[in-house]
Structure 1
């Protein structure tokens, strides 16, 4: 009797495994057809040649479902833009400031509603409202009353090389390499009363916490708060607590740490390259990564939103994603909101970034819990067809987001 039961159990197990394997084979074939179909559609969109090179990804909480590169990382050498190609992702970098804030909080190093002057090495105060302290949270949700002045824009961009190829695009606000300051000195110069770069435009006429006013300077200052509170350089902190745990091995804050063959050239137009540059305010715009690495990152964010993240506790992720802005803080007619460096928009939950020679989208659908990424190496300002092409690619990804099983 026991032998019969054992034999029957083995038979059932073998049949079940066979059914599972057949199901997996069917799913693999099905997904392969879906991937081919999606790739064909994106190739068709890309036929206009407006974007030199780009990569896209679809992810969920289990990882990357689709990941492909298109066009060229360098059109002159015909270097293919692949899923391993890296480029800056502009303001999408700010989302790492948010995660770092909560990691520092979990370490007992800061609280979001503390005044920033509790941590900073210099005093920051809106001279129009000197009696009202600016808090860490206000920096994180863009209600600090700190402005991006002309002095900021004119000093932030730094050329990496002195000599450039003929015809290279060099915007007038790019500066020579010798002008680069440390992040702390840069912000001190912009925000303190006697700072050399303080032209009187660094602060709003709105009280701290009164209105949402997007601020790169405030974002960079938030990164400096983390650095000052923890005693760990921001680049080191984010590498240790975000990039390394997620095995984002091709990502860095500097090109020196990335193989040159993996880097994409940036383009002003599809025929003109952009000069190589970096920014002093790197936390708000300077992460260099690939769609593969960013896919790992977005997958973690989706897990965190679902209560299963690995980088932060569930409580921290809940606060990270919580809508922070009141109706009175939002500009009139705006139907959006913000978590801690995390946007709620028609594209979903996430962030987008634009900078000279590039643009990036990273969002996930809070209902399907599927995310989409597009990274392009071409500027959207000099050809009016680039942005619509980018949006068309992103929308096609949306059409496929629930087709992968």
Structure 2
């Protein structure tokens, strides 16, 4: 897979490899105080090609640690701060989990319902037409739906006439694909791809295993789950999440549409830390990766899901949170409901798109949550990815030991 392919996924797998949640094989600086921790992280950051970066650690009540480095806008030297907003890529899927279980609590749907109970077009596995695909299959990535090349159509440049001659050839040929795509409604996108009558339909959008029997990380499957939520509750998914998550948690700088947020706080996306700008693009399937938020706002959400994980949540009841964080059969993946569950029982998720890297984890034993994101890192050089890994693990070492 080319490092500059349009979709940098399976992002969850990438980040489990990148971050690994382990300090054993690396030389991690010991930090005896927060002041020393700040200096250690600054030193690691300064030696890598990373544009802007933020990281936050919370428990159920407080922000324990928060640090932002680099630039939201390199040319204008606008610093990346705790209030800087950017998209978080696939971590957006964890919000589908909360919205889905709220819909369950409202009596609008059940996890084991056939998805065709709600859809206005039929979706079935071509090799197993009599086997139902359930909502639960979508949540743990066992539906049989895979992204494939068709998923690249979900990326559309905001300015299709933009001059892209500044891009190196090895990047430009992938970005050119975005310029060929047209922004359409996500429901139309899903029908085009998954319905037998859809104009992009191909059996290659499904794997060879029957639903429920094999893990295949699926952005399209996640987007389909969000679409089912809006059909079941009678509200656009974006509006529903605003009402049941953003507003109650006072996440005032979070949303799905930049036009509704403070554009001055938005981070420019870069291919590296030296100012190579990623052309602005839309993600048609919003729910699977297009949430815009800040470190400050995400910390509020992180505290809520940490409370839910520990049986103290406020947005859902304990049964619902337990469902979200219950690990699927190990033989067919390690997913809860749109959260990955590590062997140590730590829920986590990550995200990767052009100009975006993100990661979050709930540490079961220490009862803390950690979130980080950045708006550009040169992935062609291993030292830059390793720097992010070292920052994350330096922080883990400080709080775990």
In the superposition, the TM-score normalised over structure 2's length comes to 0.87
| Counterpart contact for 1:159–1:174, Cα < 8 Å | no
Q: Residue 178 and residue 364 in structure 1: after superposition, are their counterparts in 2 closer, same or farther (change >3 A)?
A: closer
The answer for the alignment partner of 2:13 in structure 1 is: none
1:246-296 per-position Cα deviation (integer Å, ceiling 9, x unaligned): 111111111112212201111112221111112111101000111111111
Q: Residue 278 and residue 250 in structure 1: after superposition, are their counterparts in 2 closer, same or farther (change >3 A)?
A: same
Q: Which runs of 5+ in 2 are unaligned?
A: 1-31
1:113 aligns with 2:117: no
Question: What is the CA–CA distance in structure 1 between the aligned matches of 2:359 and 2:145, rounded to whole Å?
Answer: 25
Question: What is the CA–CA distance in structure 1 between the aligned matches of 2:237 and 2:395, rounded to whole Å?
Answer: 33
Q: Residue 105 and residue 402 in structure 1: after superposition, are their counterparts in 2 closer, same or farther (change >3 A)?
A: same
1:64 aligns with 2:63: yes
Structure of larger gyration radius? 1
Question: What is the CA–CA distance in structure 2 between the aligned matches of 1:394 and 1:100, rounded to whole Å?
Answer: 29
> Displacement, 1:176?
3.4
Classify the secondary structure of the residue corresponding to 2:68: strand
| Counterpart contact for 2:48–2:387, Cα < 8 Å | no
Question: What is the CA–CA distance in structure 2 between the aligned matches of 1:382 and 1:236, rounded to whole Å?
Answer: 38
The answer for the alignment partner of 2:28 in structure 1 is: none
The answer for the alignment partner of 1:321 in structure 2 is: 325
Question: What is the CA–CA distance in structure 2 between the aligned matches of 1:263 and 1:167, rounded to whole Å?
Answer: 22
1:60-100 per-position Cα deviation (integer Å, ceiling 9, x unaligned): 11131111210111111000000000111110000000101
CA RMSD of aligned residues (A): 1.8
Question: What is the CA–CA distance in structure 2 between the aligned matches of 1:345 and 1:274, rounded to whole Å?
Answer: 32
Classify the secondary structure of the residue corresponding to 1:385: helix
Q: Which of 332, 335, 341 lines up with 2:338 in the alignment?
A: 341
1:92-114 per-position Cα deviation (integer Å, ceiling 9, x unaligned): 00000010110001111000000
Q: Residue 259 and residue 327 in structure 1: after superposition, are their counterparts in 2 closer, same or farther (change >3 A)?
A: closer
Question: Number of residues paired by the alignment?
Answer: 363
| Counterpart contact for 1:269–1:383, Cα < 8 Å | no
Classify the secondary structure of the residue corresponding to 2:175: coil
> Displacement, 1:165?
6.9
| Counterpart contact for 1:45–1:392, Cα < 8 Å | yes
Q: Which runs of 5+ in 1 are unaligned?
A: 1-32, 331-336
> Displacement, 1:35?
3.0
Q: Residue 294 and residue 177 in structure 1: after superposition, are their counterparts in 2 closer, same or farther (change >3 A)?
A: farther
Runs of 4 or more above 6 Å deviation: none
Q: Residue 165 and residue 72 in structure 1: after superposition, are their counterparts in 2 closer, same or farther (change >3 A)?
A: farther
The answer for the alignment partner of 2:268 in structure 1 is: 265
Higher relative contact order (CA 8 A, sep 6+): 2
> Displacement, 1:380?
5.2
